[in-house]
Structure 1
Amino acid sequence: MLYFSNTISEEKSSEGVERTSVAFKTLKSEMDEDRVGYYKLPIKSQDLLEDLQTLDISQFSQIVVIGIGGSSLGIKAIDSILESITPDAKEMIFFENSDPLTISENIAKIDKERACFFVISKSGSTIETTSIFKTLIGHFNLELDNAKNIFAITDKDSSLSKFASFHNIKEFNIPLNVGGRFSVLSAVGVAPLYVAGYDVKAILEGGDEFLESFFSGDENHLLQKANYLYTNAKQESINVVFSYADRLNNFTKWYVQLWGESLGKIDKNGNRVGLTPIGIIGSVDQHSFLQLIIEGPKDKNITFINIDNFNNDIKIPDISLYGIEKTDFINHTSFNTLINEQCSATMQSVMESGVSCDKITLDTISEKNIGAMIIYYELLTSLVGTMFQVNTYNQPGVELGKKILYKNLGDK
């Protein structure tokens, strides 16, 4: 279960009430008219699980994911979080970037006889993905025709789809009305995470429960937060997610892509709009970024995320060290308590310095909580995008960079 606390007061002005009402109705219309597909993924992807259960995956103990951005970040986030509570989870190896050192290091980890390969690209021709896939084919001399250890995840009829069909490779399709960064609960995340041994059904259930709660009118805090972010966008142009758990690091990276690529746009009036996303980790970044938050420009708002119960009882031992006895008061305290007290104290210091903040608490690490967190941030992104009056689901700035890259590399 997720718990929410914030310093954001309910919007009572007629303008604010109208804005949140319009945004809510817009999202409801996007869902009901099936113009935007991520709303229905928690239900539709249940059918995908039935398909996956027919596969013989018993020989695989390594899951190699070849994808970038929306084709990898969400999968990596879920793997990082749930690995600790899934003892039988299989190793996942991610090929994302064009960095030759990382590519070589990852290749060295792969046991060809134990590995299966998921090549993921919505467009089907992402240059980083196809370049790495070619490299793996060449290095491991992978047989393509009727391959049982290669899976393609892409749009129907894309170039990757045609490749998979030509070689009779198992293919999973991404709904055409689901953008890459909103696709983690589609085949993009469901297929590799299922093969890796995660309880994907529970993840989907958590997402569906939060969606139902939101559209039933039981998550009005989300509307208030979206309205606050929009209303104060010029003064507080930086949105910081401060996660108090190492395993949430990849989740914050997923949030950064979702937020930045969806909201950094030119609105219908020709204005450049958006909120700069920053993801940091506590308590580590109390010793770096926090100083800027407390005494730097008041151009930020902060969302703290913490885990109430890590289900780990490791404690600080009753040891007194000469010269640093002043820290003995912490002896016998669990690290679970320590990190959450650090989160609370940091949030209090931020509030006392006059910086806006709110907090999301996961009662524990669970599949349902992760599914709910994914939907929470997708809904929040859609709400703010609607208020900014931008197309939340395209990325023309990214496409421009791709065109220049292709031209510079000699594509005619």
Structure 2
Amino acid sequence: MAAEQPMLQLDATNVYADAVGDEHGLKPQEVQALAGRIAAAHAEIESRRGGDVGFMELPYDAAALSAVTDKASELREWCRNFVVLGIGGSALGNIAVHAALNHPFHNLLPEGHPARLGAPRVFVLDNVDPALLDGFLDVVRDELDATVFNVITKSGSTAETMSQFLWARDLLRREGCQPGRQIVATTDLSPDRSLLRRIADEEGFFTLPIPANVGGRFSVLSAVGLLSAAVGGVDVRELLAGAAAMDRACRAEGLAANPAALYAAVLYLFYGRGKPITVLMPYSSALRRLADWYCQLWAESLGKRDGLSAEGVFVGPTPVGAVGVTDQHSVMQLYQDGAFDKVLTLIEVERPLGDGDVPICRGRSEPELSYLAESTFGALFAAELTATRCALRDKRRPNLTLRVPAVSARSLGELFMFFQYAVTYSGCLYEVNTFDQPGVELGKQYTYGLMNREGYEPPAGAPCRG
């Protein structure tokens, strides 16, 4: 891949005191004071790269890319519905890619429509709500023989995903379909570590590996996210090229040259000044679901009871997703006039429709509406973003802007890699293990007990299922 510079730009103007005032803004010297800790974090990240931390190596895995694109090409010849079965990091990245890079009404377009790019419909079932599963069957039952289920779980034993797998395999068997052809398993490479891998080997399912040093919430640029993207018509090579460009930028030493390190430092400083809520607000309908992915990345990586050197630290910022301009008419009232406990990150897309735009009105309009009628939706959208940024500044609300030229495979790859590096630097600053999630384990154990799994007990006072 060519060593190109990233398109993404970080604008931190509105976090400083000269923009939002001394009480709520930072001084440049406060940020610079973290240079030593950022340098130490940089050295640690570099030393672990490709060892126990592998997300930054994913853009260069040619073998994985070839396996994904070959399988996607084969599936696109006959598959009419591609269904991801997964949860958390095995689903949120897939949803974000599909929402960002496919047509906003992809699944509603008729088969053969040029905007479908020759792709099947793409579904991500990221819940075990029976109403969701039953409703999904209403959509695909008549095309079940042309439906592929991609089961994604690194451990191969996630209760939610494996229950979906049992349901899908049983359904295919009962309907006379071909589970061996219609199930793709994405899981750990080792049968010793993954029950799903053992089942796949026994039943002949096609499999794709999840690297041992890549956790679920960091796996979107692995086969976890790439297969559904490629099947859906996304240029996964460009997605990885964008990620590679940002990887190079985030390996730079020093706060001024490293956007992810600067972003982490700014949010860390605000956390220490009583602003523990970090809001990601893309001004792009296509990037709405990126905010969901971001929330998991931030929450599971940084929300920890115990630190690296001390127990009972109970740290972690609270991530919140929003979307412009929709949420200007819902939560922006709180963000501008509520408690001073938030920092907003806005994502600006300079050309939402590429080189095109949509006129608001081509004919006559009422005089009172001429200011709208004579303009375009792109101009209105840009004005709303600028107005929000300025209003937040004038209300003394710190905010950053991430700016990309357009929503593209390349810019999305950059965003994924940027946030993964930023949360890794953040973990070093908070002195927590960025890559574990012990807090979710107790709920899992209680669930196993409530489902009568051998060796597990239900929570005290809860009735067992019969």
Q: Is the 8 A contact 2:94 2:124 kept in 1?
A: no
Structure with the larger strand share: 1
* Candidates 185, 200, 205, aligned match of 1:152: 185
Alignment of 1:151-230 (within 5 A): 151-156=184-189, 157=191, 158-217=194-253, 219-230=257-268
User: Which stretch shows the higher mean deviation, 246-255 or 141-150?
Assistant: 141-150
Q: Does 1:48 align with 2:50?
A: no
Q: Report the Cα offset of residue 2 of structure 1.
A: 1.6
Q: Indicate conservation of the 8 Å contact 1:3/1:363, yes or no.
A: no
Deviates more, 1:62-71 or 1:7-16: 7-16
Task: Please say if residues 145 and 168 of structure 1, whose CA atoms lie closer than 8 Å, have aligned partners that are also in contact.
Answer: no
Query: Do the aligned residues in 2 keep the contact of 1:65 with 1:117 (CA within 8 Å)?
Result: yes
Cα deviations by residue, 1:86-124 (Å, 9 ceiling, x for unpaired):
733431111111111111111222221322110001111
Residue 327 of structure 1, aligned match among 350, 369, 372: 369
Letter in 1 for 2:269: T
| Residue number among 320, 328, 336 corresponding to 1:294 in the alignment | 336
Q: Residue 41 of structure 2 contacts residue 425 of structure 2 at CA under 8 Å; is this kept in 1?
A: yes
Q: CA RMSD in A?
A: 2.0
- Where does the alignment leave 5 or more consecutive residues of structure 1 unmatched? none
Q: 1:249 aligns with which of 260, 279, 288?
A: 288
Preserved contact between residue 4 and residue 360 of structure 1 (Cα < 8 Å) = yes
Structure-2 separation of matches of 1:143 and 1:188? 28
Contact 2:10 2:403 in 1 (8 A): yes
What is the one-letter code of the residue matched to 1:197? G
Q: Distance in 2 between matches of 1:12 and 1:113?
A: 63
Whether 1:309 and 2:315 are equivalent positions in the alignment is no
Correspondence for 2:19:
none
Which residue of structure 2 lines up, in the alignment, with residue 130 of structure 1?
162
Partner of 2:457: none
- Alignment length (residue pairs): 408
Q: Which amino acid aligns with 2:378?
A: N
1:231 to 2:261 alignment: no
Among 95, 109, 127, the alignment partner of 2:125 is 95
Return the alpha-carbon distance in structure 2 between the equivalents of residues 53 and 19 of structure 1: 41
Partner Cα distance (1:24, 1:54) in 2: 36
Q: Residue deviations 1:32-59, cap 9 Å, x none?
A: x522010101111x21222234443211
Q: Work out the CA distance in 2 between the residues paired with 1:319 and 1:395.
A: 57
Please tell me whether the aligned partners of residues 82 and 150 of structure 2 are also in contact (alpha carbons under 8 angstroms).
Answer: yes
TM superposition shift of 1:137? 2.4
CA displacement at 1:388 relative to structure 2? 0.5
Aligned partner of 1:39 in structure 2 is 56
Equivalent position amino acid for 1:184 in 2 = V
Q: Could you list the runs of 5+ residues in structure 2 that have no partner in the other structure?
A: 1-6, 17-26, 104-114, 455-466
Give the 3-state SS of the residue equivalent to 2:155 in structure 1: coil
1:283 paired with 2:325, answer yes
Give distance in 1, aligned partners of 2:453 and 2:66: 41
Query: Displacement, 1:223?
Result: 1.8
Does the CA-based 8 Å contact 1:19-1:227 persist in structure 2? no
Cα distance in 2, alignment partners of residues 399 and 143 from structure 1: 38
Answer whether contact 2:169 2:179 (CA < 8 A) is retained.
Answer: no
Q: Is the 8 A contact 1:8 1:224 kept in 2?
A: no
2:424 to 382, 386, 394: 382
Shift of 1:306: 2.0
CA distance in 2 between counterparts of 1:99 and 1:387 reads: 38
Give the corresponding residue for 1:352: 394
Cα distance between partner residues in 1 of 2:87 and 2:199:
19
Residue 380 of structure 1 and its aligned partner are, at CA, apart by: 0.6
Amino acid at match of 2:357: D
Match in the other structure for 1:76: 95
Q: Match for residue 37 of structure 2?
A: 19
- Measured against aligned partners, the alpha-carbon deviations of 1:110-166 in whole angstroms (never above 9, x if no partner) come to 221322110001111111111122222233336798712211001122000000001
Call closer, same or farther: CA 1:53–1:5 in 2, change over 3 Å.
closer
Tell me the distance in 2 between the aligned counterparts of 1:112 and 1:28. 47
Q: Does the 8 Å CA contact 2:83/2:125 hold for their aligned counterparts?
A: yes
Query: Distance between the aligned counterparts of 2:171 and 2:47, measured in 1?
Result: 48
Equivalent residue for 1:399, pick from 410, 426, 441? 441
Tell me the secondary structure at the aligned position of residue 350 of structure 2. strand
Q: Match of 2:360, as an amino acid?
A: I
Question: What is the rounded CA distance, in whole Å, between the counterparts of 1:54 and 1:242 in structure 2?
Answer: 36
State the AA in 1 paired with 2:91.
S
Q: Shift of the alpha carbon at 1:410?
A: 1.1
Contact preservation (8 Å) 2:119, 2:231 = no
TM-score (norm 2): 0.83
In 1, Cα distance between equivalents of 2:68 and 2:453 = 38
Distance 1:78-1:86 versus aligned 2 partners, 3 A rule: farther
Q: Give, in whole Å, the separation in 1 of the partners of 2:281 and 2:138.
A: 34
Matched, 1:112 2:114: no
Q: Deviations 1:341-396 (Å, cap 9, x if unpaired)?
A: 10111011001111111001220121110100000110111011111010101110
TM-fit CA distance, 1:200: 0.7
The 2-side partners of 1:86 and 1:371 are apart by 21
CA deviations on 1:147-206 (whole Å, 9 max, x unpaired) are 122110011220000000010111111111110000011110112222222211110111
2:302 aligned residue (254, 263, 272) = 263
Q: Distance in 2 between matches of 1:68 and 1:176?
A: 18
* Residues 270-279 or 329-338, more deviating: 329-338
Is 2:415 the partner of 1:373? yes
CA drift at 1:405 = 0.9
The percent identity for this pair of structures is 30
